[in-house]
Amino acid sequence: MSPHQQWKKFADPETLTCKQGYLLLQKSNGNPSCVLPSTYLKLIQRGYGNYDASIMNKRPEMMNTLIQSMTSSQSIMYNWHQMMQKNSRITMDAMNNWVSQMKDNPALLKNMLGPITSDPKLREKMIDIMKNHPQMENSLKMNSRWMDSVHHQVINPETGQAMHFACSWCPDYQMHATQSNYMETGSDGIMTMMHDMWINSGISQDMDTMMLQNPSHMAHMSKQMMEPMVNAVMDDEYLRQQMIDLMLEHQDFMNAIRHANIETEN
């Protein structure tokens, strides 16, 4: 039976069910409906339906499907990240949750660092953040593999001659940080839904997990709030060492480190 038929027969919202992959939505006119996740978000955005926490909290599978759909939407997650940035406690809770998960599953650290180290603009920003993190700077200076790699002689492909670079990790290095500003807003319905989910600690933790497991989402999120993301990893000694090892294996990132500050060319 359709949700409307179920509603007419049983008049009990607790009994309403949908096919797998569909979400139960109570429309603005009061009628229940089963819709695809993308349709669910569009109806809420346009004011034709409202997010009902009581419906979703009692249907974990539906909630998981909704979270997956949300984390795949750049516009929705942009605003989610904006909300996180405005509340330091929520950001700290999310980062602590990530650190705990990455310790249990090292592959998740790759999910975060992979998109950053592969994108020229993102890795340049991460290098600036690393330079301003005392524990990370000290760990890098104490890591022989890192220092050997950074000081490795680079050959100019055009001339075939060696190029010399300023060492970003030496004591006399001058640090320069860059900042970017972002502004964007979402519809009232979507923002209300995100706020209701955001203040629910259980749902927020599920969202944190889903974001961390998705490398594409990590790339998008890094454009907004890379600093707390990277700092959370570098603050933890174990993950800091894991991060260094992963960076050393990424040739483009290490080239960016070496090529960041050209002093002279022989």
Which tens digits make up the pLDDT trace of 130-189? 988 999 988 888 888 887 777 665 555 566 655 545 555 554 433 322 333 333 445 678
Q: What is the DSSP letter of 83?
A: H
Please indicate, yes or no, whether residues 119 and 206 belong to a single structural domain of this protein: yes
Question: Element (H or E) spanning 174, and its range?
Answer: none
Question: Element (H or E) spanning 52, and its range?
Answer: none
Please indicate, yes or no, whether residues 257 and 130 belong to a single structural domain of this protein: yes
Please indicate, yes or no, whether residues 125 and 247 belong to a single structural domain of this protein: yes
Residue 82 lies in a domain: no
pTM of the model: 0.71
Task: Give me the number of domains the chain comprises.
Answer: 2
Residue 94 lies in a domain: yes
Please indicate, yes or no, whether residues 38 and 135 belong to a single structural domain of this protein: no
Please indicate, yes or no, whether residues 183 and 245 belong to a single structural domain of this protein: yes
Q: Cα separation of 247 and 234, whole Å?
A: 13
Residue 76 lies in a domain: no
Q: Examine the fold and report which residue of 71, 105, 128 is the final residue of a domain before the chain moves on.
A: 71
Q: Examine the fold and report which residue of 24, 46, 71 is the final residue of a domain before the chain moves on.
A: 71
Q: Cα separation of 144 and 123, whole Å?
A: 22
Please indicate, yes or no, whether residues 160 and 196 belong to a single structural domain of this protein: yes
Residue 81 lies in a domain: no
pLDDT tens digits in sequence order for the chain, 266 residues long = 666 666 565 555 667 788 889 999 888 877 788 889 999 999 998 888 888 888 888 889 999 999 999 988 888 888 888 888 888 888 999 999 999 999 999 899 999 999 999 998 998 899 889 988 999 988 888 888 887 777 665 555 566 655 545 555 554 433 322 333 333 445 678 878 887 787 787 888 888 898 899 888 898 899 989 999 999 999 999 999 999 999 998 888 888 877 554 443 43
Residue 200 lies in a domain: yes
Burial zone of 188 (CB within 10 Å; 0-12 exposed, 13-18 middle, 19+ buried): exposed
Please indicate, yes or no, whether residues 58 and 103 belong to a single structural domain of this protein: no
Please indicate, yes or no, whether residues 129 and 222 belong to a single structural domain of this protein: yes
Q: Examine the fold and report which residue of 44, 71, 98 is the final residue of a domain before the chain moves on.
A: 71
Asked if residue 24 lies in contact with residue 18, where contact means CB atoms within 8 angstroms, the answer is yes
Please indicate, yes or no, whether residues 178 and 98 belong to a single structural domain of this protein: yes
Asked if residue 254 lies in contact with residue 145, where contact means CB atoms within 8 angstroms, the answer is no
Could you write out the DSSP letters of every residue in 177-211?
-----------HHHHHHHHHHHT-HHHHHHHHHHH
Which structural domain, as residue segments, surrounds residue 168?
88-265
Handedness of CA 225, 227, 232, 237 (dihedral sign): positive
Residue 181 lies in a domain: yes
Please indicate, yes or no, whether residues 148 and 218 belong to a single structural domain of this protein: yes
Residue 222 lies in a domain: yes
Burial zone of 157 (CB within 10 Å; 0-12 exposed, 13-18 middle, 19+ buried): exposed
Please indicate, yes or no, whether residues 169 and 202 belong to a single structural domain of this protein: yes
Distance, first Cα to last Cα, the chain? 78
Residue 77 lies in a domain: no
Cα distances (Å, whole numbers) of residue 238 to 135, 207, 232, 248? 12, 24, 12, 16
Please indicate, yes or no, whether residues 109 and 51 belong to a single structural domain of this protein: no
Q: Cα separation of 42 and 177, whole Å?
A: 39
